[in-house]
Amino acid sequence: MSNNPVVTVIPATIHLSQRFGQTAARKKRVAAYAQVSTDSEEQETSFEAQNDYYTRYINERPELEFISVYSDEGISATTTKNRKGFTQMIADALAGNLDLILTKSISRFARNTVDSLQTVRALKDKGVEVYFEKENIYT
């Protein structure tokens, strides 16, 4: 019996920017989701910054096709109810109109773990990926 420890090698994950180019000739149809929960001036600046950032980010990449920035302003992410932008984005994705959704963080997407997991699973079943930028999670 050997005293050598067993080492499991976990290969590095591919960075988001590298994944974009791995599809066939068709551009990925990409949308972003921006959300702030209050109407305060500070949150309004964050909301505008999210919209501007994702519009520019998608449009600057030739392998991506900008579809939209869906957004909800002044609405909590605690539940998906009453979030018209979120609901429309998910409907469009499930209808086959999106390949990838970008969002700032998991908490912007949904604060309710069950809603978040169910939504991501439904999207994944339709071949739609989600990228949570802050956490660097790519479904």
pLDDT at 128: 98
CA-angle at 33, arms to 107 and 21, nearest 5°: 110
Convert 79-118 to b/e letters by CB count within 10 Å (16 or more is b): ebeebebbeebbebbeeeebbbbbbbebbbbbeeeebbee
pLDDT at 89: 97
Least confident of 16-20, 31-35, 46-50, 101-105: 16-20
pLDDT at 22: 52
CA 137 – CA 130 distance, rounded (Å) = 8
Q: What is the pTM of this model?
A: 0.77
Delineate the domains of the chain, giving CATH numbers in brackets: 27-138 (3.40.50.1390)
Cβ pair 28, 65 in contact under 8 A? yes
Strands ordered across the beta sheet of 129-132? 64-73, 28-36, 100-103, 129-132, 137-138
